[in-house]
Amino acid sequence: MFARCSIRYKLLIGAALLLLIVCALSISGLLGVNSYRGLVRTVSQRAAELPLADELTRSVAELRITFSRFRPAHDVGDSRVHNALVHAQFGYDLADVKQALKKYREQLEQIEPNGTGISDNREEWDTVTSIQRTLERIEHLSEAENWVLETYRGDHLREELDGLYQLAGTLPGHLQGRMQQLKGNARLAYHTLLGLTWATSILSIGMLGMLVRLFYLWVFQPLHVLIQGSRVVASGEFEHRIQLKSHDEMAELATALNDMTTRFCEIRDDLDQQVKQRTKEVVRSEQLASVGFLAAGVSHEINNPLAIIAWSAEALESRLHEIIYADDEKPDDEHNEEITVLKTYLRRIQDEAFRCKGITEKLLDFSRLGDVDHQDTDLCDLTTDVIEMVRHIGSYKHKQIEFHCHDSVVACVNSQEIKQVLLNLLTNALDSLDKDGTVTVELGLHRGQAKLVVRDNGCGMNSEVLEHLFEPFFTRRRDGQGTGLGLSISYRIVIDHGGKIEATSDGPGKGSQFCVLLPLVGTKHETEQQRRYQVA
């Protein structure tokens, strides 16, 4: 239950346990000290009674001795003088007894009456009261001048003095009895306090052990797990996660460290992917630069021979036109086989020459440099024009094109080059479709850029095709046609505009998607390819 509390409450619990330990030890010590102090104070007070009790007993004894000096009145003259002196001494001794009793009473009053143990002085008070009454009777009997001559008063006074002496003699006996009881009470109190001290000590040690255990489980162990986990992550094992079952600040710190490690792995993977992507782009740029540099020098040299070959084939076909025409007029079974082969070869020479000429023209377009004008262009109208143009091509009449544009998208681009890009993407998408297939074109804004998406449900692409898709002369068209330069030219145009083009596919037979991002504001974007040509 407490494991799910915050560290603040755990520390408060620990402080409470520590305070409880201190209180238990303090109470036990205070009880022992207080008991010892009370015992010592009571013993010292009761011990002070002994001299006073002895003094009272001695005073009473002297009073009796003085009383015993009275003589019978056989000689009236002498006895009167003697008895008068004794009577005066008797008064002094009686005053000493009263003074001794007063001191003893004052000593008794200093003891706090609690009715238990050695401090129980009720018997002493009863004795003191009896002594006081006896003294009052003795004083009353001794007031008469000739009380010695009165037999009744003398005998009665002697009885009172004897009783007073007996009462005074019992006072030390009461204290001695209390001392004997104190021995047993002290032994009982000692064992009680000793047991209480041992119980308190054992309880305190147990609570201290529990406090140490809780502190280890709540603080040291989570810290150890955090430190070990941090060291493991720091050693490079970024897949390691710190596991803490508590729900306190330590667990929050572990969760934060795990989230930080997860975020770091995501950033690392993203950076690795970006590095791979940028490396591919650099390699592709190098390839495009090399092809462009080669095309710039070779295309002009190839066009002239190709034009001569095509012109020669046309000229030779025109010279043989009558022979070929005459052979065509004959029935099929009478055709001259050599003339038919000659006609086929001449037509093939012309077709391939024009095909090579088209390739060299594309190479010239690919390698053509120079500043192009960028103007604010409504990409929605531009896309609509290209789609309407492609729809009327005979081979695409049975394939559908859907266009979605929810926002007005105006970008500073070269309209002819962007048309070429869109035309290449549309024709490639349509060529990948079967009959009644659909190409979806979406145009909109995305994070301050124009976003053009061309999506089809055609043959799709595998990972190898995606990797080499924008390389020059790479083609996987199903009809075997194409030069593999269309997407390379589109890539170069988009890069020159400061944009980005990406191709994705879930696999063969699952369609493809091309995404083009173009900045809305024209930028002066100089590619590595352009810098190389400018240096050359």
Using DSSP's 3-state secondary structure scheme, residue 375 falls into strand
- Dihedral Cα 339, 343, 346, 351, nearest 10 deg: -160
CATH of domain 280-368: 1.10.287
Residue 369 pLDDT:
46
Residue 526 is predicted with a pLDDT of 43
Give me the helix-helix angle, 122-141 and 151-215, nearest 10°: 160
pLDDT along the chain (536 residues), means of 10: 62 77 76 68 68 82 80 57 75 85 82 62 81 83 59 69 82 71 67 78 82 78 84 84 78 85 87 80 66 61 73 76 70 70 79 74 59 82 88 79 86 87 88 85 89 90 82 64 72 86 88 91 49 39
The beta-carbon contacts of 335-342 under 8 Å, at least 24 apart in sequence, are none
**Contact call for residues 514 and 454 (beta carbons, < 8 A):** yes
If you count DSSP H runs as helices and E runs as strands, how many of each does the chain have, helices first? 14, 7
pLDDT of residue 119: 65
Where do the structural domains in the chain lie, given as residue ranges?
2-219, 280-368, 370-536
Task: Tell me the β-bridge partners of 402.
Answer: 440
Q: CATH says 370-536 is which class? A: alpha beta
On whether the CB atoms of residues 458 and 511 are closer than 8 A, the answer is yes
Distance CA 430, CA 273 (A): 31
Q: Given this model, what pLDDT does residue 291 score?
A: 63
The confidence score (pLDDT) of residue 455 equals 92
pTM score above 0.75: no
CB 528 within 8 A of CB 281: no
Name, in order, each residue with C-beta under 8 angstroms of 361's C-beta and a sequence gap of 6 or more: 299, 303
CA–chain centroid gap for 303, Å, is 71
Contact of 452 with 441, CB cutoff 8 Å: yes
